[in-house]
Amino acid sequence: MVARGKGILAADESSGTIKKRFDAINVESTEDNRRDYRETLFRTREAMENSISGVILFDETIRQKAKDGTPLVKLIQDAGSIPGIKVDKGAKDLAGAPGEKVTEGLDGLRERLAEYYELGARFAKWRAVIDIAGNDIPSGYCIATNVHALARYAALCQEANIVPIVEPEVLMDGDHDIDRCYDVTEYTLKSLFDELYAQDVALEGTILKPNMVISGKKCPTQASTAEIAEKTVKCFRETVPAALPGIVFLSGGQSDEEATANLNAMNAGHADELPWALSFSYGRALQAAPQKAWAGKAENEPAAQAAFAHRAKMNSLATLGEWSSDLEKAG
Ligand code: 13P
């Protein structure tokens, strides 16, 4: 999952989220359209073979067949990539905590994991959402309940021989500065690793999917790439044990190029001294360009594949610290 030069494609948008993405390109979110779009991505051999180690799928997609009848899971495996599955059931209102969420999906998870393993999944994802865009949030209660659920999920995955990706996302929404994001991310990660330890989760078989330490989207002073890279790496050094093999970032609403530049700066500055691989597990920052190019039309599939291959290559270079903005123009 964190092989050199590779990262993860997050293509596990829930039905509601993929509808939002398709609305933006004027495409109706039908089962066939979702299949055609995702099939187009998974058939992009250049990206899949060279830059994508694994693909996170939604429940519908792991069961779907390509137009020619080949299971989509097989397309991923044939390209040398690993199928994964989102198993959480979404972030719901946290009781007694206005504005905060807790992720659900633990009931029946053992049985669902066994089925997903049979369907080909070898890793899973669970996303917890920590909103910090308010004066009194996040509460300790919100973080404690979310990391407890993340650890319960991770232990169940390992029992099922599935690698858990643990994703505690501190949102970029709001006008907070980068230091506020640092403090909450640090507290969240410390709490998460305490809970993983308490629940006997093997860190050697766990991947972390965090936010970068970054300014809120509405913050009047936006931190530079260099500051984001420095503070993110510092925060992880303080909180993430060396036994963990890899950290794969979410893009979280950064622009395509920002997500790439920030990852590149972390790897260019530090890669040799860090105990874990630093790579990507991007949804929007890998798919915004191919979605726009595709726009729901079969004749645009080659253009969508070229756009996906380009973003995958740029992010692959960023995992090696070898990306530069000139390469964007060349693509
Ligand atoms: P973004 O990269 O669009 O934030 O999505 C990644 C993801 O899988 C969130 O759970």
DSSP string, 172-208: --SS--HHHHHHHHHHHHHHHHHHHHHTT--GGG-EE
285 in ligand 1 pocket by Cβ < 6 Å?
A: yes
The pLDDT confidence band at residue 254, using thresholds 50, 70 and 90, is very high
The pLDDT confidence band at residue 182, using thresholds 50, 70 and 90, is very high
Peptide bond into 138 cis (omega under 30): yes
Mutation test residue for ligand 1: of 166, 281, 311, 315, the one with most atoms within 8 Å of CB: 281
Instruction: Count other Cβ atoms within 10 Å, centred on residue 203.
Output: 18
CATH superfamily assigned to domain 7-330: Aldolase class I (3.20.20.70)
pLDDT > 90 in the chain, percent: 97
d(CA 227, CA 216): 14
pLDDT > 70 in the chain, percent: 99
**Mean pLDDT of the region 166-186:** 98
Q: Closest ligand 1 atom to the C-alpha of 285?
A: 2
d(CA 72, CA 63): 8
Cα(249) to centroid(ligand 1), Å = 8
pLDDT at 237: 96
d(CA 48, CA 76): 8
SS3 of residue 86 by DSSP = strand
Tokens of 294: 């595709």
Question: CA–CA distance from 58 to each of 49, 87, 279, 316 (Å)?
Answer: 21, 8, 21, 24
pLDDT digits (tens, 9 = 90+) for 237-250: 999 999 999 999 99
pLDDT at 273: 86
**Mean pLDDT of the region 225-237:** 97
**Mean pLDDT of the region 227-236:** 98
pLDDT digits (tens, 9 = 90+) for 54-84: 999 999 999 999 999 999 999 999 999 999 9
Beta-strand runs (E) in 87-147? 91-93, 101-103, 123-130
**Mean pLDDT of the region 19-45:** 98
**Mean pLDDT of the region 299-309:** 98
282 in ligand 1 pocket by Cβ < 6 Å?
A: yes
d(CA 262, CA 129): 21
d(CA 1, CA 248): 9
Cα(12) to centroid(ligand 1), Å = 9
Cα(252) to centroid(ligand 1), Å = 6
Q: Does residue 151 contact residue 198 with C-beta atoms inside 8 Å?
A: yes
The pLDDT confidence band at residue 331, using thresholds 50, 70 and 90, is low
Mutation test residue for ligand 1: of 125, 217, 282, 311, the one with most atoms within 8 Å of CB: 282
Beta-strand runs (E) in 96-196? 101-103, 123-130, 163-170
What is the number of alpha carbons within 13 Å of residue 253 lying toward its C-beta? 12
**Mean pLDDT of the region 26-46:** 98
Tokens of 47: 């990206």
Q: Whose CA is nearest to atom 9 of ligand 1?
A: 250
250 in ligand 1 pocket by Cβ < 6 Å?
A: yes
Cα(9) to centroid(ligand 1), Å = 9
Verdict on whether the full-model pTM lies above 0.95: yes
d(CA 312, CA 44): 10
Q: Closest ligand 1 atom to the C-alpha of 250?
A: 2
**Mean pLDDT of the region 104-127:** 98
Residues listed for the chain: 331
Query: Is residue 176 over pLDDT 60?
Result: yes
Q: Does residue 216 contact residue 253 with C-beta atoms inside 8 Å?
A: no
Give me the active site residues, please.
Answer: 167, 209
d(CA 154, CA 149): 9
Cα(330) to centroid(ligand 1), Å = 27
pLDDT at 329: 80
Beta bridge pairs of residue 164? 124
Q: Whose CA is nearest to atom 5 of ligand 1?
A: 283
- Encode 239-257: b = buried (16+ Cβ within 10 Å), e = exposed: bbeeebbbbbbbbbebebe
Tokens of 201: 């989760």
Question: CA–CA distance from 305 to each of 108, 129, 329 (Å)?
Answer: 37, 31, 17
First and final C-alpha spacing in the chain: 26
Q: Closest ligand 1 atom to the C-alpha of 287?
A: 3
254 in ligand 1 pocket by Cβ < 6 Å?
A: no
pLDDT at 271: 66
Tokens of 31: 């089962």
21 in ligand 1 pocket by Cβ < 6 Å?
A: no
Closest CA to 240 of 252, 248, 250, 229: 248
pLDDT at 63: 98
Q: Whose CA is nearest to atom 8 of ligand 1?
A: 10
127 in ligand 1 pocket by Cβ < 6 Å?
A: yes
Closest CA to 17 of 293, 284, 289: 284
**For 30-34, which contacts have Cβ atoms below 8 Å and span 24 or more sequence positions?**
31/60, 31/64, 33/296, 34/60, 34/61
The pLDDT confidence band at residue 16, using thresholds 50, 70 and 90, is very high
Beta bridge pairs of residue 126? 166
